[in-house]
């Protein structure tokens, strides 16, 4: 199934397909709305899509996250990520994560933040953000679900405090 998988950056004209994937993967339109709001705000982001032939089957978004207050450090937050239900557990999500991390590393992004399943993200090198003194801005986030990855050497040195996503996320995470 994944033999014809290809991953590429979002292009103009992909917005409707990306919305479909997010609506298909999540139970509510919250994530699809966040993606649309970030695009409308022209936020700095990396948006990748996965296609099988001409069918858009997956999407991943990274957008800016700041950590700390005075002299806040800026990295990228991974959210949301979505794969069409009929294509899940076939490696598409992993391929999107790996491609995204590779691009952001090449661009010099120092670190990534993710709020997600603690059984899933450690395979890409994510560790509990609390290890680095980084905490979530949201109440009630389980410690092990809030994770970070140092992407460039020393990228998390001196980085600690509250991590804040773009305002377009609202209370979505
Ligand atoms: C999470 C998601 C993007 C992963 O994509 P995928 O193509 O299924 O992922 P892969 O095939 O690379 O990896 C499959 C692994 O993800 C796990 N997985 C699937 N859905 C998951 C979920 N919602 N949370 C955590 N892990 C999940 C599977 O158990 C599987 O684990 P295994 O390899 O140990 O068996 C996809 O399942 C999805 O769209 N889920 C619904 C939306 C969602 O919860 N997004 C993540 C939060 S932003």
Confidence of residue 72 (pLDDT cuts 50, 70, 90): confident
Measure the CA–CA gap between 83 and 65, rounded to whole angstroms: 23
Cβ of 99 closer than 6 Å to ligand 1, yes or no, is: no
Is the backbone peptide bond immediately before 80 cis, with ω within 30 degrees of 0?
Answer: yes
How much is the pLDDT for 71? 80
Cβ of 92 closer than 6 Å to ligand 1, yes or no, is: yes
Q: What is the pLDDT of residues 91-114, one digit of tens each?
A: 999 999 999 999 999 999 999 999
Domains and CATH numbers, the chain: 2-166 (3.40.630.30)
Take atom 36 of ligand 1 and give the residue whose Cα is closest.
83
Query: Which atom from ligand 1 is nearest to the alpha carbon of 79?
Result: 48
Cβ of 79 closer than 6 Å to ligand 1, yes or no, is: yes
Cβ of 114 closer than 6 Å to ligand 1, yes or no, is: no
How much is the pLDDT for 170? 86
Q: What is the pLDDT of residues 111-126, one digit of tens each?
A: 999 999 999 999 999 9
Cβ of 93 closer than 6 Å to ligand 1, yes or no, is: yes
How much is the pLDDT for 122? 97
Confidence of residue 2 (pLDDT cuts 50, 70, 90): very low
Q: What is the pTM of this model?
A: 0.94
Helix (H) and strand (E) counts in the chain: 3, 9
Cβ of 90 closer than 6 Å to ligand 1, yes or no, is: yes
Query: Which atom from ligand 1 is nearest to the alpha carbon of 94?
Result: 12
């Amino acid at each position: 199934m994944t033999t014809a998988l290809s991953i590429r950056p979002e292009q103009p004209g992909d917005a409707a397909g990306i919305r479909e994937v997010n609506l298909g993967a999540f139970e509510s339109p919250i994530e699809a709305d966040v993606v649309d709001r970030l695009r409308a705000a022209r936020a700095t982001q990396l948006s990748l899509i996965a296609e099988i032939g001409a069918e858009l089957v997956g999407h991943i978004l990274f957008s800016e996250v700041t950590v700390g207050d005075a002299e806040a450090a800026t990295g990228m937050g991974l959210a949301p990520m979505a794969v069409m239900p009929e294509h899940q557990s076939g490696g598409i999500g992993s391929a999107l994560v790996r491609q995204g991390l590779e691009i952001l590393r090449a661009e010099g992004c120092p670190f990534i933040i993710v709020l997600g399943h603690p059984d899933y993200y450690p395979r890409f090198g994510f560790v509990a953000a609390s290890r680095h003194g980084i905490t979530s801005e949201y109440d009630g986030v389980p410690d092990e679900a809030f994770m970070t990855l140092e992407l460039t050497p020393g990228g998390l040195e001196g980085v600690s405090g509250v991590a804040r996503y773009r305002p377009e996320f609202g209370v979505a995470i």
